[in-house]
Amino acid sequence: MHTPDLFAGRTFAGLDDGQAHAEKIGFDTLLEQGVRTADTLPNEMVYAGWSLGVMAAQTLAQTRPGARGALLFEACLPASEWPEELPVQIHGMDADPLFAGEGDLDAARTLVASAKHGELYVYSGDRHLFADASLPSYDAHAAALLMRRALDFLGPTAP
């Protein structure tokens, strides 16, 4: 497993602060950094991303030869072309202002419909980053379901 740190160790008091920092850096720059981190990794991977990290994970899954699948948590980009055979699983809350309110849920429905092996799990709630136990937005029930479903997606080799 490899988890790139696109913020160079910086942490933020809240989601709005982190989002403002990402806007300052530039989403294109963050995407390029995320994609570049995969240069030294094997192609045959399942790419996963949380929230802003979905940009790089989804891009790599769609474009990198040998990709084995994609796990997209709490975000989804519109996909003009999804490799039909590439499995994808997407998770988010139905009233999350970022996931549902900014079009990601609609993009997820479209993407899953175009994939031969696509799954979309929508949880009841309005929280973003609901699976992070260190945040006030944590939802233990939804996080447990997400974890079980993601591990099932990964198959018998999952930890």
What would the pLDDT profile of 20-46 be if each residue is shown by its tens digit? 766 777 667 766 776 677 778 888 999
The three-point CA angle 139-145-147 to 5° equals 95
CA-based nearest residue to 88, from 62, 66, 68, 70:
70
Displacement of CA 9 from its chain's centroid (Å)? 20
Classify residue 4: in a domain, yes or no.
no
The DSSP output letter for 89 is E
Classify residue 43: in a domain, yes or no.
yes
Pairing of the two strands 69-73 and 46-50: parallel
Classify residue 118: in a domain, yes or no.
yes
Instruction: Give the CATH number, domain containing residue 105.
Output: 3.40.50.1820
Containing structural domain, residue 130 = 15-154
Classify residue 2: in a domain, yes or no.
no
Does residue 31 or residue 123 have the better pLDDT? 123
As beta bridge partners, residue 46 has 69
Q: What is the pTM of this model?
A: 0.86
Return the C-alpha torsion angle 73, 74, 75, 76, nearest 10.
60
Classify residue 1: in a domain, yes or no.
no
State how many domains the chain has. 1
Classify residue 159: in a domain, yes or no.
no
Mean pLDDT of 5-22: 70
Classify residue 7: in a domain, yes or no.
no
Classify residue 103: in a domain, yes or no.
yes
Kindly report, residue by residue over 75-106, the tens digit of the pLDDT: 999 987 899 899 999 999 999 999 999 999 99
